[in-house]
């Protein structure tokens, strides 16, 4: 039996009803026909123009995403038990797809993919890094985070600190302020910690590092790159913390050059190499990746036989995807021209708008421009702690290819 509905209604267009029929959780502002004036951050029932129930979600008049649906079950009661169950489902999923040692550092909550819209929770050993990008989650923060901590504690996971990384401009689009700081801190626990991923140790600063502190989504892609790095001369562009470079060095590469435009990133990569005793066959270079590869080409230096390209997102909007494709093509063409026949290329895009078909087309265009052929070793995506919902294409963002030049 359905429970009594006390939530204000948001009526949407027929086009919206059809679009959300497969489970997409977002209702855009231009799809709203009328509302019963719900409070921002509160729950509202989304219905069709014929009064058909679509789902219940967080309403926000300040956001282009007017409603973020969290349930399409009319029997759900949105109390503490509801959110605890959801957290339990998310945690149990990680226990299915990752062994315990890989869960030491993993994404525990991945927003819409775990049906917590706008919430990211990353675990780095005994620290959690949390980012909240939706007002509905913000208003329920003190229900959700203590419940998650209790679930972890009951499973024997000790958490000494929780850092809020809400220092992102996108929060202002949701009518929220930017801020960062401790949500929970036991004693004088430091925001700087040492993590281990793929048997490589990294120094991570969850308070000051990029985004939530460390990029966890390439965990298994780094392992795949290391598996073919033995004996190779490797260039790792956009090395950041040195993660791909360090995996390849540990995997038996003859030498590894780690390149990043940021001096801070280069120093971080060098420090992580020292932490792992891997400085003997590694060089660290501060340079723009395009300029670095172009200079190698002009110097006729084709000694590298494995190049890794892991650039930041070239586009965060569908309006600029054409320019982004040109940027990716230029970068990949340079790498392909530098590699010998039989050499390997690992290349990635972390932009949702750079779709997989467009990414593969870019690679073919790059190969033609470089005058080479490509053999696909394998394609990969983000690690499974960043789950993909087929009904929500925005959850699928990372493309990663290992290729051989032929």
Is residue 350 annotated as part of the catalytic site, yes or no?
yes
**Tokens describing residue 168:** 């992102």
Residues 6+ apart with CB under 8 A from 6: none
Distance from C-alpha of 258 to C-alpha of 274, rounded to nearest angstrom: 14
Which of 105, 106, 238, 350 is the catalytic position? 350
Neighbours of 261 (CB within 10 A): 15
Short-list 163, 162, 161, CA closest to 179: 163
Residue 395 has phi, psi (to 5 degrees) of -75, -15
| CB distance 346 to 404 below 8 Å | no
**Tokens describing residue 132:** 């909240």
Angle at 199 between CA 196 and CA 205, to 5 degrees: 25
**Tokens describing residue 135:** 């007002």
Q: How far is CA 92 from CA 98, 121, 392, in A?
A: 10, 15, 21
Distance from C-alpha of 235 to C-alpha of 314, rounded to nearest angstrom: 20
In order, the DSSP letters of 388-399 are: -BTTBGGG---E
Distance from C-alpha of 41 to C-alpha of 59, rounded to nearest angstrom: 5
Cα 346 to chain centroid distance, Å, stands at 18
Tell me the residue ranges of DSSP E strands in 93-240.
Answer: 105-110, 119-124, 127-132, 161-166, 179-185, 192-197, 200-205, 233-237
Distance from C-alpha of 91 to C-alpha of 386, rounded to nearest angstrom: 12
Catalytic residues: 350
């Amino acid at each position: 039996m359905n429970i009594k509905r006390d939530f204000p209604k948001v009526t949407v267009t027929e086009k919206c009803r059809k679009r959300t029929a497969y489970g997409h959780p977002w209702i855009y502002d231009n799809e709203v026909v009328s509302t019963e004036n719900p409070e921002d951050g509160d729950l509202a029932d989304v219905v069709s123009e014929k009064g058909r129930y679509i789902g219940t979600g967080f309403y926000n008049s300040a956001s282009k995403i007017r409603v973020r649906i969290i349930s399409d079950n009319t029997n759900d009661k949105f109390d503490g038990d509801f959110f605890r169950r959801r957290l339990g489902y998310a945690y149990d999923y990680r226990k299915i797809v990752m062994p315990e040692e890989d869960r030491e550092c993993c994404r525990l909550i991945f927003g819409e993919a775990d049906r917590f819209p706008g919430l990211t929770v990353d675990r780095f050993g005994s620290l959690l890094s949390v980012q909240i990008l939706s007002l509905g989650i913000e208003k329920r923060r003190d229900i959700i985070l203590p419940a998650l901590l209790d679930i972890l504690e009951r499973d024997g996971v000790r958490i000494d600190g929780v850092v809020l990384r809400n220092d992102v401009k996108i929060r202002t689009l949701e009518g929220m302020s930017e801020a960062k700081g401790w949500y929970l801190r036991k004693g004088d626990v430091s925001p700087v910690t040492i993590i281990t991923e793929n048997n490589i140790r990294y120094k991570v600063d969850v308070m000051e590092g990029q985004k939530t502190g460390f990029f966890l989504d390439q965990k298994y892609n780094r392992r795949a790159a290391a598996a073919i790095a033995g004996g190779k001369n490797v260039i790792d562009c956009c090395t950041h913390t040195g993660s791909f470079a360090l995996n390849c060095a540990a995997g038996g590469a003859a030498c590894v050059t780690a390149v990043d435009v940021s001096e801070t990133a280069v120093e971080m990569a060098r420090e992580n190499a020292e932490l792992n005793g891997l400085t003997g066959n590694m060089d660290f270079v501060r340079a723009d990746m395009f300029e670095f590869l172009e200079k190698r080409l002009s110097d006729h230096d084709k000694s590298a036989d494995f190049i890794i390209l892991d650039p930041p997102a070239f586009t965060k909007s569908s309006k600029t995807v054409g320019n982004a494709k040109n940027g990716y093509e230029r970068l990949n063409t340079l790498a392909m021209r530098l590699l010998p026949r039989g050499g390997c290329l690992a290349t990635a895009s972390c932009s949702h708008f750079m779709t997989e078909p467009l990414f593969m087309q870019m690679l073919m265009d790059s190969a033609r421009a470089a005058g080479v052929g490509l053999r696909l070793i394998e394609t990969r995506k983000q690690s499974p702690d960043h789950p993909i919902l087929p009904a929500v294409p925005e959850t699928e963002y990372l493309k990663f290819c290992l290729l051989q030049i032929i």
